[in-house]
Amino acid sequence: MALAPSLMRSAPIIESHESEQQDELTSSWRRGAGEAGGVVSTRSVHRNHPGPAVHPSLRRRGVVLLLGVLGALLGGRVFAAAPRPLRPEVAAFIDEMAQRHQYDRTLLWRVLGRIKPRASILRAISAPGTARPWYVFRERYIDDVRITEGARFWRQHAEVIGRASREFGVPEEIIVATIGVETLYGRDTGNFKVVEALATLAFDYPPRADFFRGELEQFLLLAREIRLDMTRVTGSYAGAIGIPQFLPSSYRKYAVDYDGDGKPDLMGAPADAIGSVANYYRSFGWEAGGAVAVPAEAAASAVDAVLAAGIKPHSTVVALMQRGVVPLAAVRDDAQAALFSLETESGIQYWLGLQNFYVITRYNRSVNYAMVVYELARELRSVIQREGSNPVPEREMTPAP
């Protein structure tokens, strides 16, 4: 997913609605008593020592404040404007959360009732960066900064990255590159309020409203489970969270506690992010030691039909060769593969995506995204190997053409 310039820390623990309401009541009472007390004191002085007349507006203000004090003392609610009516779809969502998950209805009313659709979120979801031509998209992620910072991140967390790679079977460079593409190794985790982003997309983006209502539900459950203040958590315009940019449903399902502190923290713990990325890939079928992608040539007569079959591996390499697709690097004849194309400055380039390439597209369903993770991973591996530290076995990655 995708992203603002500081490593997120765990958001403060949310307080109960009851305690917040009591705090509001107490502070309102104190404000009312203080200001009203000043008015009463002034009037008593005037009674015994004639002076300037009190302006009528001050008297009215004193009456209002005194009514607030009386309301608090009598156990009633402090006088305030009634909340604006909720849109029917928002009210229905709140009812469902209360019935299915016993969620605090008043809390949701207060949080969701204040959210207004964000035009910037709707613009961003309608024109994702991954839709750009490959050569434009690539320039944003394959650069000196991301390579240098990636090598530094790898060295800094070498022990935990190596442990995650061994446990989950995912190459170290793929783990590091994924975090690098997502958030520049935790430095750019997004500055949209997650609850606002998800609510905007859930109720004001019809093409994927059902999907984002589900993610909003998952976020609210996540906030309750790990005690986050849901109004302060920030992330991407699509509601992705933390160093690896997990959507709330993925956070709840695939996040792991990899630093042993008893809870998975993807916002403030690099070790948890590293382990969670590796766990995510394994959960979607990463083949340990398998290739990712190989360049290919394709006969003009075969291209359209083979591309139309999609990115999920659907035919063996041998079967594709019989249809006019020729791999330009070593690959097993019996490997399942799919043909995809990239738009380069010099024209269309063809590649065969294998199972592991498809797995990367489960993180972000874009060929451009998967390819940039793969290419950044190769660049990072080259840097680490040149330094002579933490070498990666050649068999785990396909060599560059």
Domain boundary assignment for the chain: 17-73, 119-283, 293-396
Q: Is the pLDDT of residue 72 over 70?
A: no
Is 35 labeled as catalytic in the residue annotation? no
CA neighbor of 323 nearest in space, from 307, 341, 310 = 307
CA neighbor of 108 nearest in space, from 94, 96, 95 = 94
120-164 pLDDT, tens per residue? 999 999 988 888 999 999 999 999 999 999 999 999 999 999 999
Lowest mean pLDDT among 37-51, 103-117, 175-189, 227-241: 37-51
7-32 pLDDT, tens per residue? 333 333 333 333 333 333 333 333 33
Q: Is the pLDDT of residue 60 over 70?
A: no
Q: Which of 182, 196, 217, 396 is catalytic?
A: 182
Confidence of residue 394 (pLDDT cuts 50, 70, 90): very low
pLDDT of 230: 95
pLDDT of 62: 52
CB 252 within 8 A of CB 221: yes
Confidence of residue 1 (pLDDT cuts 50, 70, 90): low
* CATH classification code of 293-396: 1.10.530.10
* CATH classification code of 119-283: 1.10.8.350
CB 269 within 8 A of CB 261: yes
pLDDT of 388: 78
Which residues, including other chains, have CB under 8 Å from residue 286's CB and lie 6 or more apart? 168, 169, 170, 355, 356, 359
Confidence of residue 84 (pLDDT cuts 50, 70, 90): low
Q: Which tokens in the block code for residue 358? A: 């498809």
Q: Is the pLDDT of residue 342 over 80?
A: yes
Q: What is the mean pLDDT of residues 53-64?
A: 49
The dihedral sign for the CA sequence 37, 40, 46, 49: negative
CB 335 within 8 A of CB 354: yes
Q: What is the mean pLDDT of residues 73-90?
A: 58
